[in-house]
Amino acid sequence: MEKILNDTEGFVDKQSLKNYWYVVALADDVNSNPISVKLLNEDFVIWRESNGGLTAAEERCPHRQAPLSHGHLENGCLVCPYHGWTFSESGKCINIPSAADSVPIPPRAHLNTVEVIEKYGLIWLCSGKPLNPLFELEEESDPSFRRINTEVQKWKVAATRMVDNFLDITHFPYVHAGTFGAGQDTKAPNITLEHLDDDFFGYRYEILAANPEEAKSTSGSNEESVERSMTSGFNLPLTVRSTITYKSGLEHIILLLSTPIDDVSSYFTFVIWRNDDFTIPEEEVISFDRAIGEEDRVMLEKLNGAMPLDKTALVNVQSDKASVEWRRQLLKLING
């Protein structure tokens, strides 16, 4: 226990973290070429099969360790760029061009594959054995909502620091002074933690958010500031969801996804669902949230290294309640 609490540098090597789903790419990024991703310090290649499905496998070819993502696809099979060994959708080696037809393919020539799914416009990997299916968001199948995706970025920040930030609302008037936080009350509401639904645990609160020119199409209001009923909650290990409900009935849901590449860098993307009238172009809707994410990134990249998870390692106040609870549950998950 002591070791895990203080040795946060080894966070990504914790075996139990492998048994969960993490976003590694946009679904649209995996098309006619294989791609390379890194999850929890391990490299993987992902490619699209001819039937539209996906395969994810170790990135290094079992022959001479060439990076398979540098290869190409032939009829949905991956061809290694070095000597042309070819792998089918199950990672099975189906051709060794140098070998005589009569020679069987060695069993160890096949790739070790990992679990991969496509959901919410994203590619999710699980490099261990998934303990749970990925959570279902009801807005995804509700025709009054639309989904908007944006690119997957690389941040030089530990994923744990990102989750802590996404659960925290007291940085709004400071870090987000350039967007929705300008002039916002610095006093935090009294936080009561609750099950927001089957999948997310967090809290509800109200804020009066700044509504600058760039935010008006997103908020649907022309006022200088706008009342928001919000929730922020987490789904272990590293997913955060924020929901915003405006007085008009407009709902704006943001899924914030942080994937540990290693102990100090992460993939970040977010997904929006909105029940608007679908007339505002996607780019206009997402640009304000993208600017908010950029404010967080700039702040977080100033924080060095991994985040201590033990609650006694950092000073916490009432408004940090959600983060303290998330870290408590995360430590429990890691320790098994």
Beta carbon of residue 36, minimum distance to ligand FES (angstroms, whole number): 14
Among residue numbers 281 through 310, which ones bind Fe ion (CB under 5 A)?
296
Q: Distance between the two ends of the chain, CA-based, in angstroms?
A: 11
Q: Is residue 237 reached through a cis peptide bond, with omega within 30 degrees of 0 on the bond before it?
A: yes
Binding at 332: pick from Fe ion, ligand FES, none (beta carbon under 5-8 Å per type): none
The pattern of x and - marking residues 173 through 212 that bind ligand FES according to CB under 6 A reads: ----------------------------------------
Closest CA relative to residue 186, chosen from 169, 201, 203, 199: 169
CA distance 230 to 63: 53
Place of tokens 């009432």: 318
Q: How far is the CB of 326 from Fe ion (least distance, A)?
A: 15
What's the Cα-to-Cα distance from 66 to each of 85, 111, 247, rounded to whole Å? 11, 13, 56
Backbone phi, psi, residue 114, to 5°? -125, 165
Cβ-based nearer residue to ligand FES, 109 or 137: 109
Q: How far apart, in whole angstroms, are the C-alpha atoms of residue 330 and residue 324?
A: 10
Choose which of 42, 73, 82, 170 interacts with ligand FES (CB under 6 A): 82
Strands 72-74 and 54-58, how do they pair? unpaired
195 binds, among Fe ion, ligand FES, none (CB under 5 to 8 A by kind): none
Q: Which of 44, 85, 87, 234 binds ligand FES (CB under 6 A)?
A: 85
Find which of Fe ion, ligand FES, none residue 63 binds, CB within 5 to 8 Å per kind: ligand FES
Q: Which of 15, 53, 83, 112 binds ligand FES (CB under 6 A)?
A: 83
The contacts of residue 320 (CB under 8 Å, 6+ apart) are: 168
Residue 296 partner contact from Fe ion, ligand FES, none using kind-dependent CB cut-offs of 5 to 8 Å: Fe ion
3-state secondary structure of 266: strand
Site string for ligand FES, 45-64 (x = CB under 6 A): ----------------x-xx
**DSSP-based three-state secondary structure for 184:** coil
Chain CA centroid to CA 99, Å: 42
Q: What does 201 interact with, of Fe ion, ligand FES, none (CB < 5 to 8 A by kind)?
A: none
**Contact criterion met (CB below 8 Å) for 158 and 264:** yes
Q: Does residue number 94 form part of the binding site for ligand FES (CB under 6 A)?
A: no
Residue 263 vs 296, nearer CB to Fe ion: 296
Write out the residues near ligand FES by the rule CB under 6 A. Answer: 61, 63-64, 66, 80, 82-83, 85
Binding site for Fe ion (CB under 5 A): 296
